[in-house]
Structure 1
Amino acid sequence: MNRLTKTDTRLFYWLFNMTANRDCRWIRWVSRTGDGHLYFLIGLALWAFDPLHGALFLYSALIAYALELPLYVVLKKAFKRQRPCDLFKNLHAHITPSDKFSLPSGHTAAAFLMASQVVHFYPTMAFIAYPWACTIGLSRVLLGVHYPSDIVVGACLGLMISSFSLVVLV
C-alpha cells in the first residue's frame, strides 16, 4: 500500500506541477462543468425534446444521482483521506474544495455517471461524453484537490451506479 501511495503522490505532483505559474481559468471552467447544474439541464432538455428516450433518460439519471450522492458522502467519511492541498503545506490548490476529504472524487463520479447514462441512450455521443468525463477528473488533479487514485475510484463509482440504475429501470 505504501508503494501505491508513493506512486499516487508522485503522479499527483507531476500533473499538478504542470499548472505552476499558469493561468488555470480554463481548468477551473472544465471542473465547473462537473458541478451538477449541467446534468440537470441536459436531463430536462432531453425530457422536453426527445420523445423516444428523454423521459427514461431523465428518470434513470435521477435514480442514479439519488444513489450516488449519499454513497459518495458515506465513502468520503469512511476513508477520510486528506486532500493533497490540505496535506502538503507547500502546495496551494487553484480552487477551494467543496468539502474536506478527497476519496472518491465526487465530480468525477458524477461525470462518469452522466457520461454512462448519455452513452447508453445515445451511443454516438461516446466520443464526447467519456473524454469530457476524463477531462473533469484530470481537472480535479490539476487544480490540486484530488489524487489520481481519487479520480479512478470516482470514475468506477459513477459507472457502477449508472449501470445499476439502468438495470433497475430499463
Structure 2
Amino acid sequence: MFGIITKLDKQVFEYFFALSEHKEWHLLARKISKTGDGPFYFIFSLILFLSHSRGGELFNLAVSAFILEIPLYLILKNAIRRKRPCHRESVYLGRVSVSVGQADPLVSASGFNASKPFEPSDKFSLPSGHTAAAFVMATSIWVIYPQWLLLAYSWAIAIGLSRIALGVHYPLDILAGASLGSGSVMAVLYLGGH
C-alpha cells in the first residue's frame, strides 16, 4: 500500500513540476511561494489588527496557532527527514539549487536564470513549512472572516502547489503541511474553549 502511495506521490509531483518548465509558470510559482514567506503573515495580521474590528482576534488566533505549529513542524521535519525532490531526483538538479547551485546548460538555454536557481530553505521536505504556515493563516482567516474562506484557502492551496512546481516538495509534504497548519488552529480553538 505504501508503495502505491509513494508512486502516486511521485507521479503527481512530476505533473506539477513539469508545468514549471515554462518560464512564465516557473516565475509565477516563485512569486506565489514568496507570499508564503514568514514576514508576510505578521505584516498581514498586524494590518488587520490595526484596521478591522476583529483584526485583534485574527492576530491572537494566528499567533497562538503559530506558537503550536512551528515547534511541531520542526520536530516532524527533523524526525522524518524526508529528502526534498530536488535532493533526490537527479533530473531536476539543473532547475533547483542543491548545494553547489550549478545549472544544467539545457535549462539555461530554455530561458531560466541559471545564476539564481531556486534554493529551498532547508534539507528536508515533510511537512511543508510554507504550506503549514499558509494554512494557519487561511484557517485563522476562515474562523474570523468566514466570507474570505474561498480567497484564503485558494491562496493557501496555491502556495502548496507552487512548492511542488518549484521542485522542493512532494504532494504528501503539502498535505501534511496543510493538515498541520489547519490542525494547529483547530487545536488552539479547542483548547481555548471555542
Instruction: Provide the rounded CA distance (Å) in 1 between the counterparts of 2:42 and 2:168.
Output: 24
Question: Normalising by the residue count of structure 1, what TM-score does the alignment of the two structures yield?
Answer: 0.94
* Structure 1 residue 151 displacement after superposition: 0.4
1:113 aligns with 2:136: yes
* Partner residue, 1:50: 52
Q: Which moved more, 1:55-64 or 1:142-151?
A: 55-64
Instruction: Provide the rounded CA distance (Å) in 2 between the counterparts of 1:103 and 1:87.
Output: 14
CA deviation map 1:96-124 (0-9, x unaligned) = 10011000001001101100000110010
1:4 aligns with 2:27: no
* Partner residue, 1:15: 16
The list of structure 1 runs, each at least 4 consecutive aligned residues, that deviate by more than 3 angstroms after superposition, is none
* Partner residue, 1:138: 161
The alignment yields a C-alpha RMSD, in angstroms, of 1.3
Question: Normalising by the residue count of structure 2, what TM-score does the alignment of the two structures yield?
Answer: 0.83
Instruction: Provide the rounded CA distance (Å) in 2 between the counterparts of 1:46 and 1:14.
Output: 37
Gaps of 5+ in 1: none
* Structure 1 residue 89 displacement after superposition: 1.2
Q: Which moved more, 1:24-33 or 1:134-143?
A: 24-33
Instruction: Provide the rounded CA distance (Å) in 1 between the counterparts of 2:22 and 2:32.
Output: 19
Is the Cα contact below 8 Å between 2:20 and 2:29 reproduced in 1?
A: no
* Partner residue, 1:39: 41
Aligned length: 169
Gaps of 5+ in 2: 97-116
Instruction: Provide the rounded CA distance (Å) in 1 between the counterparts of 2:151 and 2:22.
Output: 30
CA gap 1:56/1:168 in 2 versus in 1, 3 angstroms: farther
Bigger-Rg structure (1/2): 2
Instruction: Provide the rounded CA distance (Å) in 1 between the counterparts of 2:19 and 2:51.
Output: 41
Letter matched to residue 183 of structure 2: M
* Structure 1 residue 15 displacement after superposition: 1.4
* Partner residue, 1:29: 31
Instruction: Provide the rounded CA distance (Å) in 2 between the counterparts of 1:62 and 1:19.
Output: 33
* Structure 1 residue 166 displacement after superposition: 2.3
Q: Quote the sequence identity (%).
A: 43
1:30 partner SS: helix
* Structure 1 residue 5 displacement after superposition: 0.7
CA deviation map 1:65-84 (0-9, x unaligned) = 11111110100011110000
* Structure 1 residue 155 displacement after superposition: 0.4
1:34 partner SS: coil
2:82 partner SS: coil
Map 1:119-130 onto structure 2 (within 5 A).
119-130=142-153
Instruction: Provide the rounded CA distance (Å) in 2 between the counterparts of 1:64 and 1:161.
Output: 5
* Structure 1 residue 21 displacement after superposition: 4.5
* Structure 1 residue 168 displacement after superposition: 3.1
Q: Which moved more, 1:19-28 or 1:76-85?
A: 19-28
Q: Which moved more, 1:114-123 or 1:19-28?
A: 19-28
